[in-house]
């Protein structure tokens, strides 16, 4: 394992080195946390020991209902995310393929994109109530309008030559979209989906804190009322771990499936 690449400007490192460094970073981070809490640099009431957080997580799962909270949160995220995806990909592609779609939708999407999603929560609750629909809507608002512009950009970046190769081989518009445009943009679109999925979690916690009686956000918020810092941190940690694992899985699939990159 050569370490020189790590210290040279714009150097290279092997994936094994990267993995080892990631583990070192996590150990270092947890070690620092442990030390700060252990020596009381920050009072343990505010910063509990990592072991206490783990113990709290165990209590929440064994004695409480935290597993079903996790489950419902994951369901909400994926339901809203998939809804965004199935709407954003076709619309994004049509926006870049036909000027009429692009010129009509872009200004509105740009406007909505700039609205802060938390500001829409009260309105969405008035419209849709406090059941699942309003939570899905919050997540959808936060991701769809961003994603559709990213997809439109991906489609626009497909080289003109690729499309013209299709035409000169006798392909129809529909075949060019399916066999060439969609296929050419896929790697960068999957990357954009991965990033957007992360945003879903942010909006989920907001939605669950404001109005919910289940989910990770709700669990975190109700523990706060009793100043149960270890439980609050355990909830946050759970979101982080789910995010990290999902992200790594998608990256891995990306590498496997797009081996030509």
DSSP three-state, residue 194? helix
Does residue 26 belong to the site contacting other proteins (CB under 8 A)? no
DSSP 155-176: HHTS-HHHHHHHHHTT--HHHH
Distance between CA 164 and CA 172 in Å, rounded?
A: 11
Per the CB < 8 A criterion, the answer to whether 189 and 91 are in contact is no
Does residue 43 belong to the site contacting other proteins (CB under 8 A)? no
Q: Please identify, using beta-carbon distances, which residue of 26 and 98 lies nearer to other proteins.
A: 98
Does residue 107 belong to the site contacting other proteins (CB under 8 A)? no
Q: Which of 157, 178, 183, 251 binds other proteins (CB under 8 A)?
A: 183
Q: Which of 40, 107, 116, 170 binds other proteins (CB under 8 A)?
A: 170
Through-space distance between the first and last CA atoms of the chain, rounded to whole angstroms: 25
Per the CB < 8 A criterion, the answer to whether 89 and 99 are in contact is no
Does residue 40 belong to the site contacting other proteins (CB under 8 A)? no
Q: Please identify, using beta-carbon distances, which residue of 4 and 259 lies nearer to other proteins.
A: 259
The count of residues interacting with other proteins (CB under 8 A) is 20
Q: What is the largest CA-CA distance in the chain?
A: 73
Does residue 169 belong to the site contacting other proteins (CB under 8 A)? yes
Residues at the interface with other proteins (CB under 8 A): 159, 161-162, 164-165, 167-171, 175, 179-180, 183-184, 186, 258-261
């Amino acid at each position: 394992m050569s370490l020189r690449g790590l210290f040279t400007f714009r150097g290279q490192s092997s994936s094994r080195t990267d993995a080892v460094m990631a583990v070192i970073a996590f150990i270092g981070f947890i070690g620092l946390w442990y030390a700060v809490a252990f020596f009381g640099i920050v009072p343990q009431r505010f910063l509990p020991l990592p072991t206490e957080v783990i113990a709290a997580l165990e209590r929440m799962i064994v004695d409480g209902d935290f597993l079903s909270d996790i489950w419902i949160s994951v369901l909400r995220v994926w339901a809203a995310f998939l809804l965004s995806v199935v709407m954003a990909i076709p619309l994004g592609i049509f926006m870049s393929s036909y000027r009429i779609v692009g010129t009509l939708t872009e200004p509105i999407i740009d406007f909505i994109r700039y609205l802060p999603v938390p500001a829409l929560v009260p309105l969405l609750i008035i419209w849709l109530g406090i059941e699942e629909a309003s939570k899905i809507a919050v997540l959808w608002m936060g991701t769809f309008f961003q994603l559709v512009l990213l997809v439109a950009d991906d489609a626009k970046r497909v080289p003109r030559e690729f499309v013209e190769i299709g035409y000169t081989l006798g392909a129809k518009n529909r075949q060019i979209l399916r066999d060439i445009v969609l296929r050419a943009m896929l790697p960068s679109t999957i990357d954009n989906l991965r990033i957007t999925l992360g945003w879903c979690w942010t909006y989920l916690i907001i939605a669950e804190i404001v109005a919910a009686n289940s989910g990770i956000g709700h669990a975190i918020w109700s523990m706060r009322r009793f100043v149960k810092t270890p439980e609050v941190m355990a909830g946050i940690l759970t979101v982080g771990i789910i995010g990290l694992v999902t992200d790594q899985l998608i990256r891995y699939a990306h590498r496997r499936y797009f081996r030509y990159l």
